[in-house]
């Protein structure tokens, strides 16, 4: 279900223009990200779609129909909406929060609660959390509940207004991964608002960069925006390191994964260490590095390890491989498989050699 902005403008009394003649088409089944600095009209544009903000001029069409022809309340019930801090009802359980939308749609209570339980599982939350209240959840768990509630409308359209900006970077990355996983299964038409260009590039099939005053500066694939910014504003916004960001679209095919010496936590170790050793647990998951010249006499514990840097998931874009190598105290980027087990390591030099010799440069999504 596509969305089309046709000269959509929002002008407030006094003359302030929040959105200025926005012309843009969101393609069916894709993630389109609105990104830009504060005051550029990102959220206002998003809220035009469900009539939380009425355009002063122009039109917004959903599935080819002008939204002004729909009752606002009915329109909103049929469009999923996720906001920052989740916006959950504090005095209702998690299950009741998610069941709210089906109940409003006329479902009986038992059916609505069954659907809510299914949705909690879909967004990766254990069933027992359904009995808790929002205050008893972490920030990341609350955001997952917010996504589940938005999906409860079972609408092809999902609006997300900076949904992950209030959580820490590690949780945020996990939520982004979860959204991409859900999208691969559900194929919604998603409009996502963020001020973070890295988040926009990671999530978006298309990225709309807006400038202050609500004007669309550029609209295209993340690779297009990184490689061909249309003006100084876009170039400045996406950053001088946009070449590095472009590695997010380059395959790591050709990067050699070398064997890495390992040592297992909980095992007896005796003597002086002559080289960096990757410490793993009994499942083979990396836990840190044992530095050279370390002397260990007894059972190896995590307290003796140096932090390990980021991990590179085999088969994902090359940016992660380079980051893992650069962030590792051993200058060896740890490569893991889908189960999180260490399978080897890469060096920054190996990664850079592949980048330098890649026939398509660093700007083509593969």
| pLDDT tens digits, one per residue of 107-134 | 889 999 999 999 998 888 898 999 999 9
pLDDT of residue 157: 93
Band the pLDDT of 360: cuts 50, 70, 90. Answer: low
Poorest-pLDDT segment among 14-18, 267-271, 303-307: 267-271
Q: Are 366 and 251 in contact (CB under 8 A)?
A: yes
pLDDT in tens, 140-199: 899 889 888 888 877 889 999 998 887 787 788 888 888 998 899 889 999 999 998 889
Please report the beta strands in the chain, taking only residues with DSSP state E, as ranges in sequence order. Answer: 3-11, 17-26, 31-35, 57-62, 65-66, 80-83, 157-161, 189-194, 206-211, 215-220, 262-264, 268-272, 277-280, 286-290, 295-299, 311-313, 333-336, 342-346
pLDDT at 240: 66
Q: What is the mean pLDDT of residues 89-103?
A: 91
**Confidence check: pLDDT of 226 > 50:** yes
The mean pLDDT value for 225-235 works out to: 89
Task: Please give the pLDDT value at position 150.
Answer: 86
What is the mean predicted confidence (pLDDT) over 280-296? 88
Can you tell me whether residue 21 is helix, strand or coil? Answer: strand
Q: Locate 264 and state its tokens.
A: 């297992």
pLDDT surpassing 60 at residue 359 = no
pLDDT in tens, 301-338: 888 888 878 899 888 888 889 999 999 999 999 999 98
Sorted by where each starts, the structural domains of the chain and their CATH numbers stand as 3-240 (3.40.50.300), 262-356 (3.10.580.10)
H and E: helices and strands count for the chain? 12, 18
Q: What band does 366 get if pLDDT is binned at 50, 70 and 90?
A: very low
Kindly report the three-state secondary structure assignment for every residue of the chain: CCEEEEEEEEECCCCCEEEEEEEEEECCCCEEEEECCCCCCHHHHHHHHCCCCCCCEEEEEECCEEHHHCCHHHHHHCCEEEECCCCCCCCCCHHHHHHHHHHHCCCCHHHHHHHHHHHHHHCCCCHHHHHCCHHHCCHHHHHHHHHHHHHCCCCCEEEEECCCCCCCHHHHHHHHHHHHHHHHHHCCEEEEEECCHHHHHHHCCEEEEEECCCEEEEEECHHHHHHCCCCHHHHHHHCCCHHHHHHHHCCCCCCCCECCCEEECCCEEEEECCCCEEEECCCCCEEEEECCCCEEEEECCHHHCECCCCEEECCCCHHHHHHHHHHCCCCCEEEECCCCCEEEEECHHHHHHHHHCCCCCCCCCC
């Amino acid at each position: 279900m596509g969305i089309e902005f046709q000269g959509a403008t929002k002008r407030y009394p006094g003359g302030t223009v929040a959105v200025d003649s926005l012309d843009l088409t969101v393609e069916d089944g894709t993630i389109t990200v609105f990104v830009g600095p504060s005051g550029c009209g990102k959220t206002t544009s998003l809220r035009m779609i469900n009539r939380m903000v009425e355009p002063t001029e122009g039109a917004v069409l959903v599935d080819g129909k002008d939204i002004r022809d729909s009752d606002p309340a009915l329109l909103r019930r049929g469009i999923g909406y996720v906001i920052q801090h989740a916006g959950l009802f504090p005095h209702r359980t998690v299950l009741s929060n998610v069941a709210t939308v089906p109940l409003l749609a006329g479902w009986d209570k038992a059916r609505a609660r069954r659907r809510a339980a299914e949705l909690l599982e879909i967004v990766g939350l254990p069933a027992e959390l359904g009995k808790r209240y929002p205050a008893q959840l972490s920030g990341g768990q609350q955001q997952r509940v917010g996504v589940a509630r938005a999906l409860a409308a079972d609408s092809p359209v999902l609006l997300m207004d900076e949904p992950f900006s209030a959580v820490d970077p590690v949780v945020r990355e996990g939520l982004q991964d979860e959204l991409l996983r859900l999208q691969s299964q559900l194929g919604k038409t998603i409009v996502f608002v963020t001020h973070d260009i890295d988040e926009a590039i990671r999530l978006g099939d298309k990225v709309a960069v807006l400038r202050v005053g609500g004007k669309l500066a550029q609209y295209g694939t993340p690779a297009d925006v990184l490689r061909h910014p249309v003006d100084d504003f876009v170039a400045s916004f996406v950053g001088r390191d946009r070449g590095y960001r472009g590695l997010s679209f380059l395959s790591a095919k050709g990067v050699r994964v070398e064997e890495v010496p390992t040592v297992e936590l909980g095992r007896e170790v005796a003597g002086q260490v002559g080289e960096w050793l990757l410490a793993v647990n009994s499942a083979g998951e990396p836990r840190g590095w044992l530095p050279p010249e370390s002397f260990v006499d007894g059972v190896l514990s995590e307290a003796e390890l140096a932090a390990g840097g980021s991990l590179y998931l085999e088969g994902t874009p090359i940016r992660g491989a380079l980051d893992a190598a650069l962030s590792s105290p051993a200058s060896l980027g740890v490569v893991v498989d889908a189960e999180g087990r260490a399978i080897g390591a890469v060096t920054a030099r190996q990664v850079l050699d592949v980048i330098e010799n890649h026939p398509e440069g660093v700007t083509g999504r593969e």
